[in-house]
Amino acid sequence: MGGDGQALSNKRRVLESSKVFVTADELRKEEGKDSDAVQSIKERNAQRWSHCTLSLEPFEIPVVFDLCGRLYSKRILLDDILRRKRHATPKEKDSNSGVCITRLSDVCEISNIEEGEKVVIRCPLTGFDASYGLHTFVGFWGCGHVLCVSSCEKLIKSNETKLLDSSEEPVVIPCPFCGEDSFPVPLVLGSEDDEVEQFRRLRPLQRMFTKRKRSEK
């Protein structure tokens, strides 16, 4: 998974053991059990919408997401990229061809952030707060808007086949909020396997999309 992939795996194990975060599989296992236990799991899962994947600390603005659907404080991520570049051996650099963030172009900055006592990611169409953990969200790569799936589900499903089958030209989906050309990235997935699969599926699309944007300048 690359140099930072192992580090993220280690952090995930720390989170699971400390019960700060929870996976979708764990949530399903708890269905039908004591309602307080289920509520506790939902609350822990919601923390992923308010804490940086790397530092495990509350978000600092700006916040970014990657193709795996992970969320980061941009400053923390940039510091990590620079640290790895300074200390990486040639072998480690070669191994970073997998699921690895090596530059800021590998992430997208979230546009609809609210800053107050805490950083809030709120869908501008529905008003739903992502940190409640009650809804699923996608981030649009071109503009950085994070929207509740319920507000754009028909649009995504109508273009799902094109997104999966695209091999030559990037499939452009206009952001339902601002209309900018983009493609959706499901955020905060249930397992690391889901994250890796999504990265491999979306990486070619992201490269084609970036190439197209550069050619338009």
The count of residues in the chain is 217
Distance CA 119, CA 131 (A): 9
User: The tokens of 161 are what?
Assistant: 């086949």
Q: Where are the domains of the chain?
A: 3-216
Residue 40 buriedness (CB in 10 A; 0-12 / 13-18 / 19+): middle
Give the 3-state secondary structure of residue 149. helix
pLDDT(22) > 60: no
- For residues 66 and 43, give the distance between their C-alpha atoms in angstroms, rounded to a whole number: 23
C-beta of residue 189 within 8 angstroms of C-beta of residue 136: no
Across the range 163-172, mean pLDDT stands at 57
CA-nearest of 111, 115, 132 to 59 is 115
152 by Cβ neighbours in 10 Å (0-12 / 13-18 / 19+) ranks as buried
Q: What's the pTM?
A: 0.77
CA distances (Å), origin 11, targets 85, 141, 144, 197, 200: 20, 26, 26, 19, 22
Instruction: At 152, list the tokens.
Output: 């754009």
Share of the chain above pLDDT 90, in %: 46
The structure tokens listed for 200 are 């491999």
Rounded Cα gap, residues 136 and 149, in angstroms: 6
What's the rounded Cα separation, in Å, for the pair 140 and 166?
A: 17
Cα separation of 51 and 53, whole Å? 6
How remote is the C-alpha of 191 from its chain's centroid? 12
* pLDDT per residue as tens digits for the range 60-111: 999 999 999 999 999 999 999 999 888 876 655 544 445 689 999 999 999 9
Phi-psi region of 184 (alpha: psi -120 to 50; beta: other; left: phi over 0): beta
The predicted model gives 158-172 an average pLDDT of 61
**Looking at per-residue confidence, does 70 or 42 come out higher?**
70
Q: Where are the alpha helices (DSSP H) in the chain?
A: 3-18, 24-30, 35-46, 74-87, 90-95, 153-165, 192-216
What integer best gives the mean pLDDT of the chain?
Answer: 80
